[in-house]
Structure 1
């Protein structure tokens, strides 16, 4: 039955769910890559669409910005609608010189400040959120078939968009953190709690070191590789 945040009927949500932060990016991705799409949610403007990709049922549902927001949607999609594979598709800021704008970052693990909503579950334990290996392996294989740079490793899921901690950035860069975004760590944690698969595939939209940024009118084309990688990985793994 519907939840406080999702009005879809039971059966309207596929077991495979792609989760962009922006609900309008969910609309664009569904219209571009899925067949026979149906709007299944628009509560609070958070759009969700279900269709098929190469005959496989897929839902593309917005998550909102930040870990508390994706935690709500991931929990409800898993516990109330039976989602089994959840893949975050979104943007990130690069934190290494060898990574370029428009490259794809696949998050093997996700570092946090330890203030995610899940911190209350672990108390003194520093839990290490990580991707499902089968999805990770399949995404890397799919990415290598494309003419785009791909990087796999540790990312930083931040609680703050307008951060003012250059000292913290310096430490993370030194330790090889690939990029920064705001959702993957909590998605990985929720998925692990419920025994389902999760992965984060992000397009580099800006660069913390060079200050280069992808113009808004070029983002959709650049984000296409990310969506295709996520879809191929979901059904190869």
Structure 2
């Protein structure tokens, strides 16, 4: 259950997207870098997508992905499959159909350099096994439906409206959608079911894990791929400007 999320950032080195036949594909294959605006501060660049790559392959049924071991690094393959099956069931309960794909982003621990990353200082972070999983499917609208595992109902907001502030976790999802639009991504409505094992408020980047996983879902639904560094900068901007 996600209710409140900390402000820490995370590495995206092990972010993956579930693709056809349950395979794993690393996020952000070689794409042309997003240029920074000359007048933007270094820590919060004004981003624009330089080139939208070709459309991604059609999203596969989640059922195949759910049966595959995702290599999440914690628990047995059976336990991993159980979490994925639970998330798919939650999605069906809330949105009435099966998800088409899913995204994953890990939490992270910072070994050296706490509170220096936003000042362009040196840091030594590493990804951890705790992660955020997002099951999703495009809904052919301008609305986003969001459900956090363990909560009773889904929350819905418009991509064309302001960033909602309640419940708190929704502001991170909406902030990412807004930052992607600022970067030139033509976002489309999606339904999302979210499950996280990253402890809240523990300095393990629960918020950044949520942001990156949701950003991957929005990008996949829009058929856009960006480099991992650009993905991290977009999520950083989402938290700095739209969530706080």
Determine which structure has greater relative contact order: mean sequence separation of CA pairs < 8 Å that are 6+ residues apart, divided by chain length. 2
What's the TM-score, normalizing by structure 2?
0.34
Identify the structure with the greater strand proportion: 1
